[in-house]
Amino acid sequence: MNDPASEGVRLLWTSGWDSTFQLLRLLLVHRLPVTPYYLEDPTRASTPTELAAIARITDAVHAQYPHTRALLRPLRRFRVADLAPDAGIADALREVRTRMYIGSQYAWLPMFCKQHGVDGIEMSVHVDDKVQALLSSRVVAFQQTGAYRSVRVAPGQAGTPEHTLFRYFSFPLFSIDKRAMETEARLAGWGALMEMTWFCHRPLRGKPCGACAPCIYTIEEGLAWRVPRARRALSFVYRTFARPLKPPLRQALASLRGNRA
């Protein structure tokens, strides 16, 4: 693993709205060196699209703001499939899911950090995010590199499943939502760069599907314009009739697994 001091701010960057917004803040507002990290999930059909978006955004940022060539380090890519299972992290995710469903990435992200010795990497959790609600009473504030406010899970939470899953991360966007990001980006002149971001996990013919979790969150959190109109109609049907059935099905499956155990 590279020397943390030489990497500057470590940031999980997916090419999505939130992590790209934080990248631009770091490079253009705080003018800090940044090393972006990307974990390749073989189950996610959007991986090639996300990597292409990262390349386009990088080229555009370098062209528009030449000073960023010296600040933005090369993307560091890792494969989720190369991670070793971790029973403690798996148990922590299982415990959290009895109270709130969060995605499987919240198992392999801490596994990656633990196995690669990464600590303090930035995760772009924001207002309206499930993880923000999960951690809202469990974080403490601090000054990142003396430049801006961020939060992390409080040391006093040690021993909790939340600490096990999120101890390796800091959350610089913990108090801002997507619409506030949109406003700030527009005022700063980053609108065109933000429109290059990608979020859909199951793209259809190069467009957002409207039904995967990131598409739904994008619509519900105030950025519905990013999903094509026809897919928004499909999303409405899905959210109205199919999505409400998922929580009870998950609860039934969790109960069944618990009985078997």
Residue 239 clears pLDDT 60, i.e. is over it: no
Let me know if 196 is exposed, middle or buried by CB neighbors in 10 A (0-12, 13-18, 19+).
middle
Looking at the DSSP assignment, which residues form a beta bridge with residue 78?
Answer: 39
Sheet-wide strand order for 169-170: 76-79, 34-40, 9-12, 121-122, 169-170
* Domains of the chain, residue spans: 4-196, 199-261
Q: Domain 4-196 is in which class?
A: alpha beta
pLDDT tens string 20-77: 999 999 999 999 999 999 999 988 889 999 999 999 999 999 999 999 999 999 999 9
Q: What is the pLDDT of residue 204?
A: 84
Question: pLDDT class for 256, splitting at 50, 70, 90?
Answer: very low
C-alpha to C-alpha distance for 84 and 86, rounded to whole angstroms: 6
Q: So what's the pLDDT on residue 228?
A: 82
Asked if 130 and 100 count as a contact pair (C-beta separation under 8 A), the reply is yes
What number is the average pLDDT over the span 92-115?
96
How much is the pTM? 0.85
Q: Lowest-pLDDT range, 95-99, 100-104, 216-220?
A: 216-220
Greater confidence, 206 or 72?
72
Which pLDDT does position 4 carry in this prediction? 64
pLDDT of 226: 87
Return mean pLDDT, the chain: 89
Burial of 45 (0-12, 13-18, 19+ CB in 10 A): middle
* pLDDT(10) > 70: yes
Least confident span in 40-49, 75-84, 128-137: 40-49
Q: What is the pLDDT of residue 210?
A: 85
Compute the average pLDDT of residues 109-116.
Answer: 98
Report whether pLDDT(248) > 60: no
Q: What are 25-40's pLDDT values in tens digits?
A: 999 999 999 999 999 9
In the prediction, which pLDDT does 137 show?
97
pLDDT bin (cut points 50, 70, 90) of residue 214 is confident
Query: pLDDT above 70 covers what percent of the chain?
Result: 87
CA dist 19 and 197 (Å) reads 9
